[in-house]
């Protein structure tokens, strides 16, 4: 029954990067229902099942961490904040800068991520700070920055309806970014064309004009084939190439002897289908590429992103409404965490730590000396822990023990830590291993800002009081900073932190809480009178001219063989989010999908004698998990599909830590496995 609200608070959905505006209806100090905020320019009142029904249960869940915990004799004991902070500080103080690392959070606010990286750099004197972007869009930051000068979604969610053609590649939009998926379906109903390329037959395929079901890890081959066809058939935008780009000749030369039949064989897609897709994409007046982790989570993820950029530049699909290269960000503030410098090589706004001018600016503002060597990336941090080089780790709001590849090895490494401090809203698989657990608040219990996938900075507003003694992440990090450094952390609230961010970050310089109260703003927004930037690269790229890159196909690190004859590719479901910490505590969502499943083609299931619903063991070179088989039309024979939302079936035990040499992202999308009946 609907309870009459005694208050309504407008804020932002805590799940995916679409960053839908939500209205929380409150009664008796609790959230009683959620509706879409029709005034929100990104979502215009739309919500998916997670946003609409997946919030109050986890915010008010009895499992919430309510007090700090310290481990004594292998058991957690409750502690007061003073004691817990003193413990964390006195222990952190014992390590040299190279011996500590910090993991920030794509679920924390901009202000919190800013403070976390400031704490790492200014207090712990290390650039060993990274976050989950390393596992999702690090190749986007690297690949698009090389091609265009900056790495973010070029266009806006709102201009999807101006696109004549969508090329949705390695993204399952209707399940992982459902409100964007809805926008695509609407546009298609209104006449737009749709090309889907995905190793799995995702729900959006029902709306597609062309579906390219390529083998996992063959994106460079597929995209190079499309580029070759566009060049050979002169479907390119000569004007755009001549006036706005450089390096075209080297791309064209690299494709001169490219064998299209070989590309068809490697990708497993008929050449005629690739040709039709190239013609449709290049022949549309405006065409928008949308991609996600199907492109990035590969050991050649940066090459995949470069290939996407090549395709868009060849056809002049940049700097105009309805076009663009649009990487869809996974977690709600992964864009913001990157913008805030929660990365080992950059301060806020991607200012390099190795750049003397930037370093001097931050040193002057923070009143400290700073390290100039870029720090270690997430998986390099795990390697260093394994080698006992890094001895202390401070993790904020990330459950590494479910999200990272090769979990068995990760666990062995984390067990070597002399200090693990975890800050989170629930006891999770990573927090269980910690020496100290600091309870933080959910999105609904704090103020701040998030930046969504379309670079829109939006206000998060407090709706309910923090449960128990939990505190916002910004407060906890500020307390640690104050105790260890004494200066630079005396903030009374997020607004003061945001003001400091704007003084140091040109792309955020014109944004203020006052302006955000009148609706979000898309960066770059360099001055208080600037209206924000819905479309990047109108007229010129950040680096001046866009640059093509000749890309060579590199196969995945593991291919099927006699021992491991199948390829496991991983993804997400509509009903759960990331490591399931929040959605698994929502009754309705858990009822809709209670367990992990292994999706397998009818052909493979019948060859193995596996029937629908049967429990099977999946084994890779790194370990085994069991799951219930679902005989499905979605994967092709030879490929199986699983998510990673379930601790009971920790799929990332199986995944491959082989990584991209540039972005250092692991190959979460391709692992060779065998399947046995249990």
Residues that bind ligand SF4 (CB under 6 A): 13, 15-16, 18-20, 43, 47-48, 50-51, 177-179
E-state strands within 16-92: 21-27, 30-36, 69-72, 75-78
**Residue 15 or residue 644: which is nearer to ligand SF4 going by CB?**
15
The answer to whether the CB of 629 falls within 8 A of the CB of 605 is: yes
Nearest distance in Å: CB 15, ligand SF4: 3
Nearest distance in Å: CB 648, ligand SF4: 23
Q: How many CA atoms lie within 13 A of 63 on its CB side?
A: 13
Map residue 543 onto helix, strand or coil: coil
**Residue 284 or residue 331: which is nearer to ligand SF4 going by CB?**
331
Map residue 547 onto helix, strand or coil: strand
How do 456-460 and 448-451 pair as beta strands?
antiparallel
Nearest distance in Å: CB 47, ligand SF4: 4
Nearest 5°: phi and psi at 664?
60, 30
**Residue 179 or residue 665: which is nearer to ligand SF4 going by CB?**
179
Nearest distance in Å: CB 356, ligand SF4: 40
The answer to whether the CB of 90 falls within 8 A of the CB of 480 is: no
* Euclidean distance between CA atoms 638 and 635, whole angstroms: 8
Nearest distance in Å: CB 34, ligand SF4: 9
**Residue 43 or residue 113: which is nearer to ligand SF4 going by CB?**
43
The answer to whether the CB of 573 falls within 8 A of the CB of 175 is: yes
* Euclidean distance between CA atoms 640 and 631, whole angstroms: 10
**Residue 177 or residue 244: which is nearer to ligand SF4 going by CB?**
177
* Euclidean distance between CA atoms 458 and 452, whole angstroms: 8
Nearest distance in Å: CB 325, ligand SF4: 21
Residue number, nearest CB to ligand SF4: 51
**Residue 52 or residue 275: which is nearer to ligand SF4 going by CB?**
52
Whether omega for the bond prior to residue 334 falls within 30 degrees of 0, making it cis, is no
**Residue 155 or residue 479: which is nearer to ligand SF4 going by CB?**
155
**Residue 45 or residue 493: which is nearer to ligand SF4 going by CB?**
45
The answer to whether the CB of 354 falls within 8 A of the CB of 374 is: yes
Nearest distance in Å: CB 16, ligand SF4: 3
* Euclidean distance between CA atoms 137 and 262, whole angstroms: 29
Contacts of 361 (CB under 8 A, 6+ apart): 351, 504
**Residue 13 or residue 92: which is nearer to ligand SF4 going by CB?**
13
* Euclidean distance between CA atoms 42 and 521, whole angstroms: 11
Nearest distance in Å: CB 105, ligand SF4: 17
Nearest distance in Å: CB 179, ligand SF4: 4
**Residue 181 or residue 322: which is nearer to ligand SF4 going by CB?**
181
Nearest distance in Å: CB 360, ligand SF4: 39
Cα separation values, 430 from 307, 424, 435, 437, 477, Å: 36, 10, 11, 10, 19
Nearest distance in Å: CB 587, ligand SF4: 17
**Residue 19 or residue 448: which is nearer to ligand SF4 going by CB?**
19
**Residue 572 or residue 669: which is nearer to ligand SF4 going by CB?**
572
* Euclidean distance between CA atoms 124 and 480, whole angstroms: 11
Burial class (CB in 10 A: 0-12, 13-18, 19+), 288: buried
Complete DSSP assignment for 430-497: TGGG-SEEEEB--GGG--EEEE-TTSEEEEE---SPPSTT-B-HHHHHHHHHHHHHSSS---SSHHHH
Nearest distance in Å: CB 191, ligand SF4: 24
Q: In what order do the strands lie in the sheet with 521-522?
A: 448-451, 456-460, 521-522
**Residue 13 or residue 417: which is nearer to ligand SF4 going by CB?**
13
Nearest distance in Å: CB 157, ligand SF4: 10
Map residue 600 onto helix, strand or coil: strand
**Residue 175 or residue 473: which is nearer to ligand SF4 going by CB?**
175
Complete DSSP assignment for 621-634: TTEEEEEEEEE-SS
Helix 494-504, helix 356-366: angle, nearest 10: 150
Nearest distance in Å: CB 43, ligand SF4: 6
Nearest 5°: phi and psi at 66?
-120, -10
Nearest distance in Å: CB 461, ligand SF4: 16
**Residue 124 or residue 338: which is nearer to ligand SF4 going by CB?**
338
Angle made by CA atoms 76, 78, 83, in degrees to the nearest 5: 110
**Residue 489 or residue 577: which is nearer to ligand SF4 going by CB?**
577
Nearest distance in Å: CB 52, ligand SF4: 7
Residues in the chain: 678
> 549, 519, 523, 571: which is closest to 153 by C-alpha?
523
**Residue 35 or residue 66: which is nearer to ligand SF4 going by CB?**
35
Burial class (CB in 10 A: 0-12, 13-18, 19+), 161: middle
Nearest distance in Å: CB 576, ligand SF4: 11
Identify any residues that bridge with 676 across adjacent strands, giving them in sequence order.
617
Cα separation values, 651 from 149, 428, 641, Å: 36, 16, 10
> 586, 458, 461, 508: which is closest to 19 by C-alpha?
458
């Amino acid at each position: 029954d609907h309870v009459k609200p005694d208050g309504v608070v407008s804020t932002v959905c805590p799940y995916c990067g679409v960053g839908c505006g939500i209205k929380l209806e409150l009664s008796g100090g609790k959230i009683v229902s959620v509706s879409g905020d029709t005034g929100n320019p990104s979502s215009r009142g739309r919500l998916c099942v997670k946003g609409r029904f997946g919030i109050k249960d986890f915010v008010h869940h009895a499992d919430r961490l309510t007090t700090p915990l310290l481990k004594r004799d292998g058991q957690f004991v409750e502690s007061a904040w003073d004691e817990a902070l003193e413990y964390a500080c006195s222990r952190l103080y014992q390590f040299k800068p190279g011996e500590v690392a910090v993991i920030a959070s794509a679920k924390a606010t901009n202000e919190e991520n800013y403070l976390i990286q400031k704490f790492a750099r200014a207090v712990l004197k290390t650039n060993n700070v990274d976050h989950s972007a390393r596992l999702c869009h690090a190749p986007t930051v690297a690949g698009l920055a090389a091609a265009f000068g900056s790495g973010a979604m070029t266009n806006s969610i709102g201009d999807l309806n101006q696109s004549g053609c969508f090329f949705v590649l390695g993204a399952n939009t209707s399940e992982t970014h459902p409100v964007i998926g809805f926008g695509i379906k609407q546009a298609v109903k209104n006449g737009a064309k749709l090309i889907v390329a995905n190793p799995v037959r995702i729900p959006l395929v029902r709306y597609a004009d062309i579906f390219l079901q390529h083998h996992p890890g063959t994106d460079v081959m597929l995209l190079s084939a499309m580029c070759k066809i566009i060049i050979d058939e002169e479907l390119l935008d000569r004007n755009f190439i001549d006036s706005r780009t450089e390096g075209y000749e080297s791309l064209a030369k690299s494709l001169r002897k490219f064998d299209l039949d070989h590309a068809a064989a490697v990708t497993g897609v008929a050449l005629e289908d690739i040709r039709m897709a190239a013609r449709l994409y290049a022949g549309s007046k405006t065409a928008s590429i949308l991609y996600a982790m199907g492109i990035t989570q590969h050991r050649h993820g940066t090459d995949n992103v470069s290939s996407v950029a090549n395709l868009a530049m060849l056809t002049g699909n940049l700097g105009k409404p309805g076009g663009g290269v649009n990487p869809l960000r996974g977690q709600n503030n992964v864009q913001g965490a990157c913008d805030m410098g929660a990365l080992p090589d950059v301060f806020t706004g991607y200012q390099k730590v190795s750049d003397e001018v930037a370093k001097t600016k931050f040193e002057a503002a923070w009143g400290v000396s700073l390290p100039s060597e870029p720090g270690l990336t997430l998986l390099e941090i795990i390697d260093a822990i394994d080698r006992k080089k890094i001895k202390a780790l401070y993790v904020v709001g990330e459950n590494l023990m479910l999200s990272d590849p090769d979990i068995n090895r990760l666990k062995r490494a984390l067990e070597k830590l002399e200090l693990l401090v975890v800050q989170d809203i629930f006891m999770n698989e990573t927090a269980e291993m910690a020496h100290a657990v600091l309870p933080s608040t959910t999105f609904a219990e704090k103020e701040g800002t998030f930046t969504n996938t379309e670079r829109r900075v939006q206000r998060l507003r407090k709706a309910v009081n923090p449960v128990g003694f939990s505190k916002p992440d910004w407060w906890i990090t500020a307390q640690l900073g104050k105790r260890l450094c004494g200066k630079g952390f005396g903030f009374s609230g997020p607004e003061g932190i945001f003001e400091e961010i704007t003084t140091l970050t040109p792309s955020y310089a014109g944004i203020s809480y006052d302006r955000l109260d009148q609706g979000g703003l898309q960066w770059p927004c360099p001055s208080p009178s600037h209206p924000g930037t819905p479309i990047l690269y109108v007229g010129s790229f950040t680096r001046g001219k866009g640059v093509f890159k000749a890309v060579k196909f590199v196969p995945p690190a593991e291919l099927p063989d006699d021992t491991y004859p199948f390829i496991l590719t991983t993804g997400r479901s509509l009903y759960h989010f990331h490591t399931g910490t929040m959605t698994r505590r929502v009754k309705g969502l858990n009822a809709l999908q209670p367990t992990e499943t292994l999706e397998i083609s009818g052909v493979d299931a019948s060859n193995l004698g596996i029937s629908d619903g049967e429990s099977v063991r999946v084994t890779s070179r790194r370990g085994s998990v069991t799951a219930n088989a679902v005989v499905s039309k979605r994967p092709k024979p030879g490929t199986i599909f699983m998510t990673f939302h379930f601790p009971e079936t920790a799929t990332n035990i199986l995944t491959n830590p082989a990584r991209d040499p540039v972005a250092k992202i692991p190959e979460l999308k391709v692992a060779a496995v065998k399947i046995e009946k249990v």
